[in-house]
Amino acid sequence: MNRIHFLIFALIAGVSSGCIVTKKKYDDLLAQKIKTDADLADRTGALEKATAQLADLNAALTQLKEDTTALGNEYRQNQKKLADLNSEYDQLNAYYKNLLTNSGKLNRDVAQQREQLLAIQESLQRTKQQNDSLSVSLADRERKVKELETVLANKDKAVQDLRNKISNALLNFKENDLTVKVKNGKVYVSLAEQLLFGSGSIEVDAKGVTALQQLAKAIKDQKDIQIMVEGHTDNVPVSKKSQYMQDNWDLSVMRATAITKILTTAGVLPKQITASGKGEYLPLAANDSPQNKQKNRRTEIIITPDLDELFKILENN
């Protein structure tokens, strides 16, 4: 029973009991009633407010429960993701450690390969420089070879022209008496003994003088040649020895000298000609028959073109 009900009950009880309530008492009770009503109103408002707050709290609690459920689900999902990430991390970490282990070997291999590559590059550079140098040298050598070939070709042509000129100049003589041929870049004029000398003599016969004069006429204008006159004999000892002729060597030299004088008298420059004797020591055939001995008794006039230009090219190499 609240306070208001208590006051009403007390008032009724007083009236019923025949007690007379004084005015002061009445006013006090009325004031108390008003206060009580006001207090009741306040409490009613407070109750309504508390009820509304309770409803809000219940709604908030419901939302909180829903949010808690959602957060729980999210938490569990995140826990699964975390577990998956941890597993993936462990795999990546193991892979990373494996890479670190292998990277040392890879780095060493790469360093070794780099060193080999640098060595190859250096070798290629040296080879290129050598090839460039060889290319220049080869070009220079090719130029010199062509120059030599040109000089040799010109010399060969000059020798062949000289051989033809000599052959034409000596057409009137028999092949058995003389031959003209080219050997080793030189012109060889081989004159048989019967064309030039009597047996054991160093005096040139008239027919031989004519041949030598015609030869001199063909070559005297050739200023770029050298002439070697070589006397040759068989192995038969000299029958008529003298102070100046003791053997076949002396005989071959004196015959070469006699021929040399005829050629120079006919116009060949003395500085171009040399007399020499081989005696019996350079035979064409074995001295075992009269025919072979006759072959060996000869004079060879060897005409050599001037090779100064060729030698200069060779020296420059």
Average pLDDT by consecutive 10-residue portion of the chain (317 residues)? Answer: 55 53 84 88 83 77 80 81 82 78 79 88 86 82 82 86 92 88 94 92 94 95 93 93 91 97 97 96 96 95 80 62
Q: List C-alpha distances in Å: 185 to 61, 82, 111, 182, 305.
A: 130, 102, 65, 6, 8
Name the domain boundary from 141, 162, 190. 141
Residues 229, 87: Cα–Cα separation, whole Å: 111
The reply to whether 146 falls in a domain is no
Q: Which one-letter amino acid corresponds to residue 208?
A: G
Residues 74, 245: Cα–Cα separation, whole Å: 139
pLDDT of residue 164: 94
**Angle at alpha carbon of residue 189, lines to 244 and 220, rounded to 5°:** 90
Q: What is the CATH number of the domain that holds 225?
A: 3.30.1330.60
The reply to whether 36 falls in a domain is yes
- Note whether 298 and 236 are same-domain residues: yes
- Note whether 252 and 208 are same-domain residues: yes
pLDDT of residue 43: 84
- Note whether 222 and 120 are same-domain residues: no
The reply to whether 203 falls in a domain is yes
pLDDT of residue 148: 77
Domain containing residue 98: 1-141
Count of domains forming the chain: 2
- Note whether 134 and 193 are same-domain residues: no
Name the domain boundary from 141, 157, 183. 141
pLDDT of residue 173: 87
The reply to whether 147 falls in a domain is no
Residues 5, 32: Cα–Cα separation, whole Å: 12
pLDDT of residue 314: 60
- Note whether 193 and 134 are same-domain residues: no
pLDDT of residue 286: 96
- Note whether 278 and 200 are same-domain residues: yes
The reply to whether 148 falls in a domain is no
- Note whether 20 and 74 are same-domain residues: yes
The reply to whether 165 falls in a domain is no
The reply to whether 111 falls in a domain is yes
- Note whether 132 and 174 are same-domain residues: no
- Note whether 84 and 187 are same-domain residues: no
The reply to whether 158 falls in a domain is no
Q: Which one-letter amino acid corresponds to residue 30?
A: L
- Note whether 11 and 81 are same-domain residues: yes
- Note whether 308 and 174 are same-domain residues: yes
- Note whether 130 and 226 are same-domain residues: no
